Amino acid sequence: MWTPLFILIAAVLAGVEEKRGLDGSADGHPNSSNPLLSTAWLTGAQAVFAVVGVLAAVALAWGLWDSRHLPYVSDIGTLLAHRAVGDYTLSMSHFFDLTGPSFAALRLPAALAGVDLLIGPALGWLLRVKGRHVAATLSIAFTFTVFLIAAHIALARFYPMLGSKPFADTIIQKGSPADTFIIFGDQSSGSSVIFYTHNFLGKRPADLVVPRCGQHGEGSTLLWGSCYPDAPDIYLDNDRLSKIWGTGERKWLFAEDQNQPKAESLLAGRLYPVQSLADKALWTDRPLP
């Protein structure tokens, strides 16, 4: 939602600077006596932005100082606190998982964003106070450009925690189209693996070790559709998984950290580890060539 939000903010800024009326008419038109917003409001908003920028820069500086002696670790997912704020249904839930060691992996984007937020908004406010509104707006654009570059660098650092494409690459490189991909848990936990392998595993994207239609009080993101009589037969219970494991075509089993002990207990001695990344693991049911 960030992109449309930025577009709406830009539209408001343009409207204030062009002194458009409430009906969209330009300044000087008979119907434009009531401007969209005043430039005084815009100056106040710029001041708030400057204060927020300074506070954010201070917070980032504190994180950098706190992690100054800690080593850089490429897999940031192994260092997060896993507090599960909002059960990770919120877009910014992982923000609350940051720790000192995990922040050490974000030194470059944090330093870049900190300097950007300390200087950019304050400079824009000074330009706004002096009436140089176009220059002030350009400073906002430049500030957010640098900030988004920093955010992109941070996203790349977070990729082992947020992405699962390496697991899909492994299945495609070492498996065959006849193989079966199984997610121990909800479809949403391995949805990216399904996305990258669904053309390779042509018969069906994945089987799920979750109760069909909310049996035993458990649900899933596919609960509603699973209750229809013509729903595909992709739902496995523990007994069925245990029976098919090691038979027929090769099976690949994916699980996040909360389900890994369950899978290891159910299939003890029959799991062959293939790959682990952050809080995710991939097994198969027989040795790989």
What pLDDT score was predicted for residue 24?
Answer: 47
Quick one: 187 and 153 in the same domain?
A: no
Quick one: 185 and 278 in the same domain?
A: yes
Quick one: 239 and 194 in the same domain?
A: yes
Mean pLDDT of the chain: 84
Quick one: 187 and 154 in the same domain?
A: no
Q: Is the pLDDT of residue 27 over 70?
A: no
CA distance 109 to 148: 10
Task: Give pLDDT tens digits for 130-164.
Answer: 888 889 989 989 999 999 999 999 888 877 777 78
At residue 73, the 3 state secondary structure works out as coil
Domain membership flag for residue 107: yes
* Count of helix runs (H) and strand runs (E) in the chain: 10, 5
Domain membership flag for residue 270: yes
From 128, 147, 162, give the residue that closes a domain: 162
Domain membership flag for residue 269: yes
Higher pLDDT, 275 or 76: 275
Quick one: 179 and 224 in the same domain?
A: yes
What pLDDT score was predicted for residue 12?
Answer: 82
Q: Is the pLDDT of residue 171 over 70?
A: yes
Q: Is the pLDDT of residue 67 over 90?
A: no
What pLDDT score was predicted for residue 232?
Answer: 86
Residue pair 166/254 in contact by the 8 Å Cβ criterion: no
Domain count, the chain: 2
Q: Is the pLDDT of residue 217 over 60?
A: no
Domain membership flag for residue 1: no
Stretch 202-216: mean pLDDT: 79
Domain membership flag for residue 32: no
What pLDDT score was predicted for residue 3?
Answer: 86
What pLDDT score was predicted for residue 28?
Answer: 46
From 103, 137, 162, give the residue that closes a domain: 162
Quick one: 181 and 274 in the same domain?
A: yes
Quick one: 154 and 175 in the same domain?
A: no
Domain membership flag for residue 2: no
Domain that holds residue 114: 38-162
Q: Is the pLDDT of residue 193 over 70?
A: yes
Please give the order of strands across the beta sheet that includes 272-277. 207-208, 180-183, 251-256, 280-284, 272-277
Q: Is the pLDDT of residue 31 over 70?
A: no
Residues 6+ apart with CB under 8 A from 99: 79, 80, 81
Stretch 48-56: mean pLDDT: 95
Quick one: 105 and 81 in the same domain?
A: yes
Task: Give pLDDT tens digits for 83-118.
Answer: 766 666 677 777 777 777 777 888 899 999 999 999
CA distance 198 to 207: 12
Residues 6+ apart with CB under 8 A from 21: 27, 29, 31, 32, 33, 34, 35, 36
Task: Give pLDDT tens digits for 256-275.
Answer: 888 999 999 999 999 999 99
What pLDDT score was predicted for residue 30?
Answer: 47
From 109, 139, 162, give the residue that closes a domain: 162
Quick one: 121 and 193 in the same domain?
A: no
DSSP state of 186: -
Closest by CA to 185, choosing from 109, 113, 266, is 266
Task: Give pLDDT tens digits for 221-237.
Answer: 888 888 888 888 888 88
Q: Hey, what are 107's tokens?
A: 């030194």
Quick one: 198 and 257 in the same domain?
A: yes
Percent of the chain with pLDDT over 70: 86
Q: Is the pLDDT of residue 55 over 90?
A: yes
Domain membership flag for residue 26: no
Higher pLDDT, 101 or 55: 55
Quick one: 238 and 153 in the same domain?
A: no
Stretch 57-68: mean pLDDT: 89
Q: Is the pLDDT of residue 218 over 70?
A: no
Q: Which amino acid is at 257?
A: D
Domain membership flag for residue 265: yes
Quick one: 257 and 185 in the same domain?
A: yes
